[in-house]
Amino acid sequence: MEHTKLQCLCLLICSLIVLNGKTVLGGNQTSNENLGMVDITILESAVSKGAVCLDGSPPAFYYDKGHGEGANNWIIYFRGGEWCYNVLDCLNRTKTEKGSSKLAPKQRSFYGILGNNKTENPDFYNWNRVMVIYCDGSSFTGDVEIVDPVTNLHFRGARVFHALIEHFLVIGMKDAKNAILSGGSAGGLPALLHCDRFRALLPNSARVKCLADGSYFLHKKNMKEIPFMDIVNEGLITLHHSAKMLPSSCTSKMRPSLCLFPQYFQQEIQTPFFIVNSMFDTFQINKTFPGYYEDLNNNTCSATLVKTLQDFKQEFLNALPKQSNCSSSRGMFIDSCLIHSQILSGVGWNGFTVHNKTIAEAFSNWYFDLSPVQLIDTPDMPLNCYKFPSITSFCT
């Protein structure tokens, strides 16, 4: 695996400066080409459909209109941000953009797969590029009619998904020649769960595929304590009534909460999809093995930690779509970086490589049917992919 170039790190630093240091107030659906800043759009019309955030505010998104040869091509990207799986968590989220569009930034920068720079993002820079804010706490799966008069919480993530996609169809996506449903972390899960629904709404002639980044949440078996993701998924089923949005072919065989794990419903997805993930995903390591991430960063690599990570890696790889059965409809880029989601970062999109291919190159080759892509890295331990001048293992 080769390392990202120094200029990619500079790009990331510049991105953070723009994000943290720029405050702009303006109208909807405009962008600043030089800064890559895109204004928020509040979808007020969704309220009448009951498609609202946790606090009842309308859903929102950031939209940079396509142009030139990309005018009829679309990328929809769902932001992530974990989940709320009990009432207290959901109430706390209403005080942030993760539960209320009222608190979302007026503008956001687009980088990585959403970037508008032709050199850095040559295949998608001029497409219609949309970033959806994540304010429902259920990975866009909730659908509860009743609103609690005490908490005023709305569990309507599935309705938000449908209202947004309907809006994008009206403003031009109905004529799409190419379309990608994507997302990162908790926002990448709906890119898989809703992949076939998305495909069904678009023209039969369109090339439609899905991309999940840092969203292949592993179901850990045979643990002494109930794993974090099992607690989350049970909470989503109970609180958000998420089971209605899960594949019936899966829920008829096992507990609905298990059908939120990609390994149990991936075989039912008919639309081609692509997985970008680290086999040492930091979110999953943090939540599954509390304290181990700090040990890694402190280079405290005990024999127990090494075995735990190697076992996790193998279990993760075993859960992925089997390569022997993979066709071009199942693409993947599985690296060894100690990292979570990657495709919205210029460093991740253009820098991290597996078998001499960047994520951008691998995904483009797969999406445009140039070649099947199932790239899996080989290191036994996670790599420090930001360290210069060469990549080093965290446990050496």
Structure tokens at 101: 């569009």
Q: What is the mean pLDDT of residues 333-355?
A: 93
Percent of the chain predicted with pLDDT > 70: 88
Q: Which pair of tokens denotes residue 334?
A: 């599985």
Domain boundaries, the chain: 37-271
Name the β-bridge partners of 275.
Answer: 212, 332
Of 39, 123, 136, 281, which one is the catalytic site residue? 281
Mean pLDDT value of segment 56-60: 98
Residues linked to residue 183 through DSSP beta bridges, in sequence order: 78, 212
What is the distance between the alpha carbons of residues 115 and 117, in angstroms, rounded to a whole number?
6
Q: What is the 3-state secondary structure (H, E, C) of 132-188?
A: ECCCCCCCCCCCCCCCCCCCCCCCCHHHHHHHHHHHHHHCCHHHCCEEEEEEEHHHC
Q: 36 or 68: whose pLDDT is higher?
A: 68
pLDDT for residue 324 is more than 50: yes
- C-beta separation of 125 from 117 below 8 A: yes
For strand 60-64 and strand 37-42, is the pairing parallel, antiparallel, or unpaired? antiparallel
Q: Is the pLDDT of residue 390 over 70?
A: no
Catalytic residue among 100, 185, 278, 341: 185
pLDDT at 326: 55
| CA–CA distance, 43 with 47 (Å, rounded to integer) | 8
Regarding predicted confidence, which is higher, 208 or 30?
208
Run of H or E including 376: strand 374-376
**Cβ atoms 128, 66 nearer than 8 A:** yes
Nearest 10 degrees: CA dihedral of 337, 338, 342, 345?
-100
- Residue 236: DSSP 8-state: H
- Please state the pTM of the whole predicted model: 0.89
First CA to last CA across the chain, in angstroms?
16
The pLDDT confidence band at residue 225, using thresholds 50, 70 and 90, is confident
Amino acid at 276: V
What three-state secondary structure class fits 213? strand
Query: Does pLDDT of 68 surpass 60?
Result: yes
Q: What is the predicted pLDDT for the residue at 389?
A: 52
Which residue among the candidates 162, 335, 340, 377 is catalytic per the annotation? 340
Higher pLDDT, residue 25 or 323: 323
Confidence of residue 209 (pLDDT cuts 50, 70, 90): very high
Q: Give me the count of residues in the chain.
A: 396
Give residue 16's pLDDT.
35
Task: Output DSSP code: residue 46.
Answer: G
pLDDT surpassing 50 at residue 22: no
Residue 194, token pair as written in the block? 């809703």
| Average of per-residue pLDDT values in the chain | 88
Is 295 assigned a catalytic role? no
pLDDT of residue 294: 75
Helices (H), 35-156: 87-93
Please compute the mean of the pLDDT values over residues 205-230 and round it to a whole number: 92
Q: With a cut of 50, say whether residue 31 has pLDDT above it.
A: no
Burial classification of residue 169, based on how many CB atoms lie within 10 Å of its CB (0-12 exposed, 13-18 middle, 19 or more buried)? middle
Give the tokens for residue 126.
Answer: 């001029």
Strands 273-278 and 128-132: unpaired
Instruction: Name the 3-class secondary structure at 391.
Output: coil
pLDDT confidence of 323, banded at 50, 70, 90? low
Q: What percent of the chain has pLDDT over 90?
A: 76
Mean pLDDT of 289-306: 80
340 is annotated as an active-site residue = yes
Instruction: Place 128 in a pLDDT band, splitting at 50, 70 and 90.
Output: very high
**In this structure, how many other beta carbons lie within 10 angstroms of the beta carbon of residue 266?**
20
* Contact yes or no for 190/219 (Cβ under 8 A): no
Residue 85 predicted with pLDDT over 50: yes
pLDDT at position 215 over 90:
yes
| Beta strands 31-32 and 60-64, pairing class | unpaired
> Using 50, 70 and 90 to split pLDDT, how confident is the model at 356?
very high
User: Is the pLDDT score of 99 beyond 60?
Assistant: yes
